[in-house]
Chains A and B, each alone.
Chain A
């Protein structure tokens, strides 16, 4: 199965700053990659699919890039509601679809 590795495990940032989260695949997933946000006690929420496309209702401060094995999620001007855990997921090769272990964005 494809292993997804996220870094860093925890990212400490201040409100208003920019956060850059990384996700690396053990083999190419082309652009078949999604990003999710999960707040404490809540279900995951889709942010990005096809590596760069924002899901409906996702603010423009969330952007993403990458293809092949290396991907990034950028949150510009962090707001208080953005502090959460972020997961990447590949859907290029299955089964199974696989997720990264998550990056916690904290104040």
Chain B
């Protein structure tokens, strides 16, 4: 099956760090760009950032609210995408989705909940 499965969410204190993972299967992971999109429970969708494929230099881009705090990486040998989140704030509380990125997002994982609270 073609799918994405996120993991690593949980409760973290403000200022803390967390790393999310996204395991991909059923498609050629190393050829595609990948993004993270988040959603505050009951609210809308917010694009977080993307990583390009190795052939595109694995360059990354981030939305302004997370720039300099979040880092996206990938391990093509493991078909896995990562989101390293540092300096977490209460406003980062959300469900985090990974998505296959063709500028639009044609495949989504089920998401993992990150709660930032003391």
Contact = CB atoms under 8 A, between A and B. Distances in A.
B45 interface: yes
Nearest to B48: A96
Interface of B is mostly: strand
Contacts of A43: 97, 108-111
Contact of B103 (A42, A87, A97, A99): A97
Nearest to B111: A43
Interface residues of A, number: 22
Given A43-B110, A44-B97, A94-B61, A99 B104 contact: no
Contacts of A98: 47
Contacts of B47: 95-99
Given A91-B103, A102-B45, 9 more contacts: A32-B103, A43-B97, A43-B110, A43-B111, A45-B108, A46-B104, A55-B106, A99-B44, A99-B45
Interface of A: 32, 34, 36, 42-46, 49, 55, 87, 89, 91, 94-102
